[in-house]
Structure 1
Amino acid sequence: MSGPLSGLRVVELAGIGPGPHAAMMLSDLGADVVRVVRPTTPEMDYTTTSHVLRGRTTVLADLKRSEDVERVYELVTVADVLIEGFRPGVAERLGLGPDEFTTSNPQLVYARMTGWGQSGPLANTAGHDINYISLTGVLDAIGPTETPLPPLNFVGDYGGGSMFLVTGILAALHERHSSRLGQVVDAAMIDGVSALAQPIHELRAIGAWEDGRSQNILDGAAPFYRTYECSDGRFMAVGAVEPQFWTLVLSGLGLKEASLPARDDRATWPDLCGAVGAAFLQHDRDHWVKIFDRTDACVTPVLTFSEAPSHPHVAARGALVGAGNDIVAASAPRFSRTPGRIAEGTPSTMTALDTAVKHWTS
């Protein structure tokens, strides 16, 4: 087993979304993860071919049966981390809440992943990524003027969810070195998304951000930070926030800056977007890729998921491996001495619960 988290033992009580994604990241970094799945769970939840479920051992346990709960309890007593994503109170009713391990495993980091958190008026209600980002103000800022559009489920589930869950786990493990005690990590997507949005709150505080969509520097309104359509219907992404990079954009397009509206005058942004957009429409995407390749113009093609693995830089980094629809993201980040597992679709393995317990207690 390789990776900086080699030797770390994690129990994951099966769920969907950010919990499994966080467990995948911990496994990619070397942790020994056992995923506990109910026998009645749909097949997709414990398939041996799921890439998100890669790199861990999967065991079946019916948590309505006292004997299975006891075996899971045994497993957790010798674990470093437990990940659960139930609604508040469910784990306690199962007899697997954090208080159950105060004596048997006082060093346990008990990581709880929810959308609304363990407290608050919405704590016990259902929700999904789109709901958590809508209440934080984030969704209102994304999409065209006419309507907010969800940015897939990256912002809530993974940006504000699994990434903060992993951060909380690692922080609690670090603190454990001095206290010799574990603690409960309450990771809520609504909290994580709010933290992600702090830079926008800072812009609002200085009067540099307006509520709504398509009227701010980062929401597609600025001519120097948006996408442009090419003659073949594909797109190029322009991120030339700094003036010197914008100059390179105009040079590549064959436009003279002196004849165009001022780039920092918001009143003229629509006109400037129109002029730049007309230039991009003169040629196909491949033409513009050649023009801007390896320049500081901050102009790149908008690739599909199918195209991305073949891009020279993505391929050189090995960030995505595989072919066709069978693409797998490699472990991230990278380490100089203890490289994580570079995943190549490695499946999880199904085994008996008793075997998993013996593996950790032997």
Structure 2
Amino acid sequence: MALTGIKVIEFAGLAPGPFAGMLLADNGASVTRIDRPYSTSSDVLCRGKRSIAIDSKLESGRKLLEELISSADVLIDPFRPGVLERLGLGPELFLGDGTKKGLNEKLIYARIVGFPRTGEHKDMAGHDINYLALSGALAMLPGTSEKPVFPLNILADFAGGGLMCATGILLALIERARTGRGQVVNADMVSGTRYIASFPLIHSSIGSGMLGGPRGTNMLDGGSPFYGIYTCKDGGWMSVGCLEPQFFTVFIKKFNENVSSDFDPLHGWRPDPSTQMKREDWTRLAEYLRLGFLTRPRDDWAKVFHGTDACTVPVLTPKEAAAHTSSIPAFHPALTSHAKSDNRTPNLKNIILKPGAHTRDVLAEFGLDDDRLHRLEKEGVFGNTNAGRRPSKL
């Protein structure tokens, strides 16, 4: 795989850091998560990783971390600014400071924070919704007339944070192959979200295109009746996305053919392909579609539009999507064959990585012999989380 042979040290953290590490692991990197002794974990983004537990408050533990990072290709730092510096593990130690040689000048030192590292919010705590709010993207999202709705914690945490950080790491690895030098990769979720939202933000700023008007009046933000979600008779939903005229033509023809002959909610008004671009008719079209979708269950509508260019498909539940043979697996491609033969919801016991589960194996691979492991264990560096078969002399 593309990243086979790349060693990654990932300090345990929340959503974006683990996601970046998982992306690297999925593509062949050897990712080791650093946990604290006696800690517990609910991180489900640990596919393909191993865990070691080290007490960084002990000098011998800090020294061990220094050695591990010195022999790694990538470090993922998910902490607020200054945490690793206070441990004496800042980037200058490994990459050098311009006057003193670093311990590992090929290291990609990747850091993920929420707010930009400079500016008035840099020392504040926050979460996805706060970073999304400052990015400008939240103000553009659909919702009610009173306020926009946030899309879980997908945009800032995972797209603007984890995905952008992983992209930065990959670019830094490419540059390292050319120059032989590592670098610091700084990712913050506000800036990352603004970057992935370039299309809507640019259209909004210049007042043109599909998102140039006020929120809720445009093609893609709930303003157009032919790009939205409709409730069906059984409470299920259908997604409609027929933006182009040729797709709307297919959609409205199939829709009109599949409501009852006496369906006349607007007293004689009935849409046709020419209705799409008549903004004065959008309110009536939205009501016509809303009431029409309510006349049949979701799966009936799904059959009506299946195999057509109407750009209309059912909204699947997570369980349905996992079982759908044509859906993209939510798991690593190597597990695709298993996912297709066993569509049960994964057991959390098999997903969550126990902190320290691979301490001995990983440290042995990094070159620590049994005598040193024994000394470190006696000093309490591993706590009581050391897992695996212990040498007889321990």
Counterpart Cα distance in 1 of 2:338 and 2:236: 22
1:217-247 C-alpha deviation (Å, 9 max, x unpaired): 1112211110111111111001111111111
Counterpart Cα distance in 2 of 1:264 and 1:320: 46
Query: Is 1:136 the counterpart of 2:135 in the alignment?
Result: yes
Counterparts of residues 1-362 of structure 1 (less than 5 Å): 3-41=1-39, 43-45=40-42, 51-102=44-95, 103-142=102-141, 143-204=143-204, 205-208=206-209, 209-210=211-212, 212-254=214-256, 259=272, 262-314=275-327, 318=336, 321=339, 323-326=343-346, 348=353, 350-351=356-357, 353=359, 355-361=361-367
> Contact 1:5/1:29 (CA < 8 Å) preserved in 2?
yes
Greater C-alpha radius of gyration: 2
Unpaired runs of 5+ residues, structure 1, are 329-343
Instruction: Tell me which moved more, 127-136 or 220-229.
Output: 220-229
Q: Which amino acid aligns with 2:65?
A: V
Corresponding residue SS for 2:281? helix
Indicate how the Cα distance of structure 1 residues 89 and 252 shifts in structure 2: closer, same or farther if over 3 A, else same. Answer: same
Aligned length: 340
Indicate how the Cα distance of structure 1 residues 217 and 320 shifts in structure 2: closer, same or farther if over 3 A, else same. Answer: farther
Q: Which amino acid aligns with 1:326?
A: P
Post-superposition offset of 1:262: 2.4
TM-score by length of 1: 0.87
Indicate how the Cα distance of structure 1 residues 109 and 319 shifts in structure 2: closer, same or farther if over 3 A, else same. Answer: farther
Post-superposition offset of 1:61: 1.2
Counterpart Cα distance in 1 of 2:90 and 2:72: 14
Q: Which amino acid aligns with 1:157?
A: D
Unpaired runs of 5+ residues, structure 2, are 96-101, 258-268, 369-394
Corresponding residue SS for 2:223? coil
Counterpart Cα distance in 2 of 1:260 and 1:314: 31
Post-superposition offset of 1:347: 5.9
Counterpart Cα distance in 1 of 2:177 and 2:83: 30
Corresponding residue SS for 1:254? helix
> Contact 1:231/1:281 (CA < 8 Å) preserved in 2?
yes
> Contact 2:233/2:293 (CA < 8 Å) preserved in 1?
yes
Counterpart Cα distance in 2 of 1:145 and 1:261: 27
Counterpart Cα distance in 2 of 1:196 and 1:299: 25
Post-superposition offset of 1:38: 1.1
1:90-146 C-alpha deviation (Å, 9 max, x unpaired): 110011110111221000000001111332221111000000011112112222222
Post-superposition offset of 1:267: 3.3
TM-score by length of 2: 0.80
> Contact 1:247/1:257 (CA < 8 Å) preserved in 2?
no
Q: Which amino acid aligns with 2:148?
A: P
Counterpart Cα distance in 1 of 2:351 and 2:296: 42
1:234-271 C-alpha deviation (Å, 9 max, x unpaired): 11001111111111111211269765772123332221
